[in-house]
């Protein structure tokens, strides 16, 4: 961040980091199952983005997760089996979509243009990023979907002429979200008319340095820092 001191605060439902005063762009980043908003907090520094940017790292609601023996943890929706398309928690996904919509509306009401907002997510967070970002009007600047998939296949909306571009990346050795499911999801998005940039890496369910470099370049273009 060019030596800029990050301004960080902890709100009840999110971690907020601003790279400089009076940010004019926003990146909302959604964590995976069992984590919280602090999980991706280091990304605000690692991306080394120019400009004044507000990073918002929301905490998912605490809920019972069936696949983990009903344990209470932060989760954007319930998962019942390793087969992620089995008994999809539609209401949980829609509830989390409403949460993220409210965060987006708050940022826009605070003066940040929709075209200066990127919605990103990892794993479960990526499902919600896709579900929410694909429906927003006016459209967002872009969607980043990492190690994730499309959960509500039959309900996912077709792209509009101004739908945001999607950056989708995945590990070929992912034991949680199989690469075949991610590739299938990518093809679905392409078939629905979305512009999808796809990268895969030899890694498990994780984020690698190569992804950070690609995300940096992609965000610089999306946010007009060229």
Residues annotated as part of the active site: 123, 174, 205
Tokens coding 122? 């990892």
Taking the C-alpha atoms of residue 56 and residue 87, their distance in angstroms, rounded to an integer, is 30
Cβ proximity of 139 and 80 under 8 Å: no
Instruction: Please give the sequence-ordered ranges of beta strands (E in DSSP) within 25-127, or none if there are none.
Output: 25-30, 53-58, 62-65, 71-74, 117-122
Report the relative pairing of strands 71-74 and 62-65 from DSSP bridges.
antiparallel
Does a cis peptide bond (omega within 30 degrees of 0) precede residue 50? no
Report the relative pairing of strands 196-201 and 142-146 from DSSP bridges.
unpaired
Cross-strand bridge partners of residue 143: 119, 166
Taking the C-alpha atoms of residue 40 and residue 38, their distance in angstroms, rounded to an integer, is 6
Taking the C-alpha atoms of residue 176 and residue 82, their distance in angstroms, rounded to an integer, is 8
């Amino acid at each position: 961040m060019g030596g800029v001191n990050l301004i960080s605060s902890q709100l009840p439902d999110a971690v907020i980091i601003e790279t400089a005063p009076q940010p004019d762009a926003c990146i909302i980043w959604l964590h995976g199952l069992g984590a919280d908003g602090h999980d991706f907090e280091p990304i605000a520094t690692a991306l080394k983005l120019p400009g004044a940017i507000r990073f918002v790292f929301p905490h998912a609601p605490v809920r019972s997760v069936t696949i983990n023996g009903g344990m209470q943890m932060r989760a954007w929706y319930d998962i019942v089996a390793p087969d992620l398309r089995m008994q999809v928690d539609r209401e949980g996904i829609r509830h989390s979509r409403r949460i993220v919509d409210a965060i987006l509306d708050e940022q826009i009401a605070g003066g940040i243009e929709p075209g200066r907002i990127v919605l990103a997510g990892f794993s479960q967070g990526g499902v919600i990023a896709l579900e929410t970002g694909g429906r927003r009007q006016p459209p967002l600047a872009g969607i980043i979907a990492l190690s994730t998939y499309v959960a509500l296949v039959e309900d996912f909306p077709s792209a509009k002429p101004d739908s945001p571009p999607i950056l989708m990346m995945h590990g070929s050795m992912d034991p949680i979200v199989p690469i075949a499911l991610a590739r299938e999801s990518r093809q679905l998005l392409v078939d629905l008319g979305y512009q999808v940039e796809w990268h895969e890496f030899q890694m498990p369910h994780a984020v690698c340095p190569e992804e950070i470099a690609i995300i940096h370049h992609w965000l610089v273009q999306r946010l007009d820092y060229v």
